[in-house]
Chains A and B, each alone.
Chain A
Amino acid sequence: MLKRIWFIFLRDIRINLRELMTVYMLVIPLILAVGINFLSPGINDTSVNLVLVKDENPEQAAYFDDFAHVQLMDNQQEVEYRIAERDDVLGVLAGDNGYYILAQGNEPESVVEYARLLNVLYESEVKLEDARSEIIEFGRTAPPLKKMLVNILLLLITMLAGMLISMNILEEKVDQTVAAINVTPTTRKAFILGKGFTGMFVAIISSIAVILITGFYSINIGQAVLVILSVTIISLVIGFLQGLNSDDFMEAAGSVKLLFLPMAGSIAGYEFVKGNWQIFFYWSPFYWAYRANDMILSKSGSWPQLILYVGIILVICGGIYALLARRIVRGLQ
């Protein structure tokens, strides 16, 4: 059976890579991931960028480096050129009466004030160890906007996987090739798994690519893949069903897009609805997937918590599959 699943998968991938529409579907998450990088601050970026003259005051440069992103230039002229570039960068240069801040003038006031304060702290020889305040955090390690966009993109990938399945099933339907497969030793289970594996594979590869492109290298990618796989089941089931019930691709893709509604509702519910009202979203596998991904992207979750979320997703998706499985099998006859 494994051999046949593999060959069905290979056939689908080969055909998908020949089609402009499917190549577009495979590439679009990656383009969106690059877009997220442009739109939101980088995960590892500090908010203040400083430029100093190399070797002018190494001790100062080392001190600033603990609190800001420091760039060193060969001389003052190069610092000035760097400041003139489009991004928000401030220069800290030696003057007749101590150090001064060089700016374009359009930088946010808070950034300029931060740079000034940092210089005062250095000149006052204040060290981090001198701080007495205790830090209690919510455990968020990533920029919230970026994390949310990446999380949405990961769920979108599962939808694209469903559309891909839908297209591949539709091809079988239009070419009437299911009957030909049914008179080979290939079981329906192998056929469904072969087709489904294509969607799963695309979902995994695209998700990992998106995670890496957006800079979330340090998260547990295995956990993310587990969540993506579990929630992809629902997209695959809907993709199968719509592929079998549709007559052309636009109809099938349009039907799969219906999943956007519960998906968008679940995301909005998690992000904007108060805790005690979130119970109304518990039915949605997308809600749990979004919640699990949020936890993974924040690096704040534990395996037992993740397994609980994945378990809930699998139970809901399994229930939906059980409801629709007969229609899928009947459609393949």
Chain B
Amino acid sequence: MIKVKGLYHSYLKDGKYAVKDVNFEVGEGEIFGFLGPSGAGKSTTQGILTGLLQLQKGDVTVAGYDIKNISRKMFNKIGVSFEQSNVYNKMTAKENLSFYARLFDVETRDPLELIELVGLKGKENIKTGEFSKGMKHRLVFARSMINNPTMWFLDEPTTGLDPAIAAAIKDIIKDRNKMGVTVFLTTHNMYIADELCDRVGFIVEGEIKLIDSPKNLKLQYGEKLVEVEYTQNGSVKKDCFSTILQKDKDALNKIINEKEILTMHTKEATLEEIFIKVTGRELV
């Protein structure tokens, strides 16, 4: 569904690249997570893929369309949910979606159905200028589905949402994916990526460091750890031991045999910890 080969982009065209030599592919029906800290090049890459930024160097195809000579027809197939809540503040939620729907050449979804889907039922006739940031964000998410896209770009879809709403949004993404929709998810939230993505790509300073499934990454880079809380000389101590390293295993055995254990938990490495390990950067 997406093919990116040798992608470079420089905003000032001065040889300083926001993304450099980016290569990846996203298969049909896949949820691909594009992960990285702020300024890593995620939005630049997504901007090029969605035609918002001009392709300078490299080969990119999206939904079968060559981005070099972009065809407006491509936009009938793709949906984009922006990180910023870019809706018309002077229009109601329903008017926003109705207007947007008219700009497509394909059959579109009922605005009221989408408004209900994202939990905004009853707010359809309220001007979005009166909406909270979270409500606007949900409307932007709903808008991205109006043309029934087969290729869906989601930029931080759960940012600023309360856990219940975020869970509902994740369920919608899963449902759409089950229906065959390909998802390109840009986020710095490793938990949502871990939960939703078939594969993830780590991007730092414009370069992709690695691409794999969260499961493989955990197997490859994540150590199984045991976190132990115990008493020593009347005070409570807390240590973490690897279940792979012999030295740690011996130390853990010793504590179990000699000390009074208060709590003991196994711990799996998170995607965030793997990201830090691989890139040497935190996801800020």
Contacts and interface: CB of A to CB of B under 8 A. Distances in A.
Contact of A7 (B86, B87, B88, B99): B99
Contact of A15 (B86, B91, B103, B104): B91
Interface in B53-74: 53-54, 72-73
Interface in B72-96: 72-73, 75-76, 78, 80, 82, 84, 86-91
B75 A185 contact: yes
Interface string A1-45: 001100100010001001100000000000000000000000000
Contacts of A7: 99, 102-103
* Most chain A CB inside 10 Å of its own CB: which residue of B54, B76, B86, B140: B86
Contacts of A131: none
Interface residues of A, number: 22
A180 B72 contact: no
B72 A177 contact: no
A7 B95 CA distance: 12
Number of chain B interface residues as a range: 20 to 34
A121 interface: no
Contacts of A187: 72
Interface in A115-149: none
Contacts of A218: none
B51 interface: yes
Interface in A162-215: 171, 174-177, 179-187
B50 interface: yes
A90 to B, nearest CB: 57
Given A182-B52, A185-B104, A333-B53, 13 more contacts: A3-B102, A4-B102, A11-B88, A175-B86, A176-B82, A177-B88, A179-B86, A180-B86, A180-B87, A180-B143, A184-B75, A185-B76, A333-B52
A47 to B, nearest CB: 51
B90 A183 contact: no
Nearest to B76: A185
Given A179-B82, A333-B52, A185 B105 contact: yes
A3 B105 CA distance: 10
- Looking at chain A's contact residues, the main secondary structure is helix
A24 B44 CA distance: 42
Interface in B218-249: none
Contacts of A4: 102-103
Contacts of A182: 51-52
A18 B90 contact: yes
Given A171-B88, A180-B143, A185 B52 contact: no
**8 nearest interchain CB pairs?**
A176-B86, A184-B103, A185-B72, A183-B80, A7-B102, A185-B75, A186-B103, A177-B86
B100 interface: yes
Contacts of B89: 174-175
A11 to B, nearest CB: 5
Contact of A183 (B78, B88, B105): B78
Nearest to B85: A176
A174 B102 CA distance: 22
A177 B103 CA distance: 13
A185 B103 contact: yes
A184 B100 CA distance: 8
Nearest to A15: B90
A54 B54 CA distance: 82
A176 B75 contact: no
B104 A19 contact: no
Contact of A175 (B76, B87, B103): B87
Interface string B123-147: 0000000000000000010010001
A183 B86 contact: no
Contacts of B52: 179, 182-183, 333
A174 B72 CA distance: 25
